[in-house]
């Protein structure tokens, strides 16, 4: 599959990554002094939005942020270098964050319905890195505080010299199919009626397909057959890699793990198409379009 074939939000970033840059540290320092470089400010992971567009600032604006603000190198496009800057480092409320007078720091799930897919992919990349840096401040080998190097591409321990690289948490998400119906459900943390494809983390020494089969049996009591990979979504909440599958099941018998799944039901293809078109169907709501679950549902419904 070409990157352009991936229908998921947060994917297909327009930026060229700089993994081949021999001196990333020096490159980042130089580009932060270049007024043509862009800063993407986030407050607690949420972007600054004005007139339904993401606000990208000149690198000259860096001085308006706290001195200890986390800055990460994201990539380049059309000769410009893009950086993410964490506006929330020492700020208590978004109203007091830098440049909140020209826009509003908007929940990223809301912003996803307003801004371009390209901008959302860049913002998701920045949010992903910020979350990783916050949760990996100490060395996993010796426990010492680590420092950021290579423009935020990794962390290094000053004590034992161990280097720590960002990692993604793999998740298998599955739309289970039986004839002309698909299985949707929700956990206790979702409101009634908001149903989605079922998912779970891939365990050590397990393939995504094995995880898909195990999770659907554990959560819903269904046995998958003919598991078919569809596409992947980078999911910055906080750092997952969602691998999407469509799979058949032998029958529609359900045996729910009520600790994990509070509600699950089979929905007919006609009902799914009606819900996609915005019609009411018994208080059921599909996931928003920026989720991989919604893209799996639409791919099946439009096949």
Question: How far is residue 214's CA from residue 227's CA, in Å, rounded to a whole number?
Answer: 12
Residues lower than pLDDT 70 in the chain? 1-4, 20-22, 90-91
- Tokens for 197, please give them: 């494809």
Q: Per residue in 232-268, pLDDT tens?
A: 999 999 999 999 999 999 999 999 999 999 999 999 9
- 193, 169, 171: which is closest to 291 by C-alpha? 171
Domains of the chain plus CATH, in order, are 3-135 (3.90.79), 169-301 (3.90.79.10)
- Tokens for 10, please give them: 């947060």
**Beta strand 169-178 pairing with 240-249:** parallel
Q: Per residue in 69-113, pLDDT tens?
A: 999 999 999 999 999 999 987 667 888 899 999 999 999 999 999
Question: How far is residue 31's CA from residue 228's CA, in Å, rounded to a whole number?
Answer: 44
> Is the distance from CB of 81 to CB of 31 less than 8 angstroms?
yes
| pLDDT of res. 22 | 64
Q: How many CB atoms lie within 10 A of CB 167?
A: 10
Tell me the whole-structure pTM to 2 decimals: 0.93
């Amino acid at each position: 599959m070409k990157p352009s074939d991936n229908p998921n939000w947060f994917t297909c970033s327009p930026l060229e990554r700089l993994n081949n840059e021999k001196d990333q540290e020096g490159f980042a320092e130089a580009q932060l002094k270049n007024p043509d470089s862009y800063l993407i400010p986030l407050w607690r992971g949420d972007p600054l939005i004005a007139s339904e567009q993401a606000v990208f600032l000149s690198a000259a604006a860096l001085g308006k942020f706290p001195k200890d603000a986390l800055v990460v190198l994201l990539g380049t496009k059309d000769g410009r270098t893009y950086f993410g800057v964490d506006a929330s480092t020492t700020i208590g409320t978004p109203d007091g964050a830098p440049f909140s007078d020209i826009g509003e720091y908007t929940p990223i799930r809301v912003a996803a319905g307003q801004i371009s897919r390209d901008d959302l992919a860049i913002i998701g990349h920045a949010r992903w890195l910020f979350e990783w840096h916050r949760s990996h401040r100490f060395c996993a080998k010796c426990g010492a505080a680590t420092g950021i190097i290579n423009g935020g591409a990794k962390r290094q321990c000053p004590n034992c010299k161990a280097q720590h690289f960002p990692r993604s948490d793999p998740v298998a998400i599955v739309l289970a199919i039986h004839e002309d119906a698909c299985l949707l459900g929700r956990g206790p943390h979702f409101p009634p009626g908001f149903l989605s494809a079922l998912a779970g983390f891939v365990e050590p020494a397990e393939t995504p397909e094995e995880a898909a089969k195990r999770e659907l049996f554990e959560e819903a009591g269904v046995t998958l057959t003919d598991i078919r990979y569809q596409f992947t979504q980078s999911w910055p909440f906080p750092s997952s890699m969602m691998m999407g599958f469509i799979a058949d099941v032998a029958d529609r018998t359900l045996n729910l793990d009520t600790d994990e799944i509070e509600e699950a039901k089979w929905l007919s293809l006609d009902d799914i198409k009606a819900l996609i078109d915005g019609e009411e169907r018994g208080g059921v709501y599909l996931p928003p379009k920026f989720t991989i679950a919604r893209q799996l549902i639409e791919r099946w419904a439009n096949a």
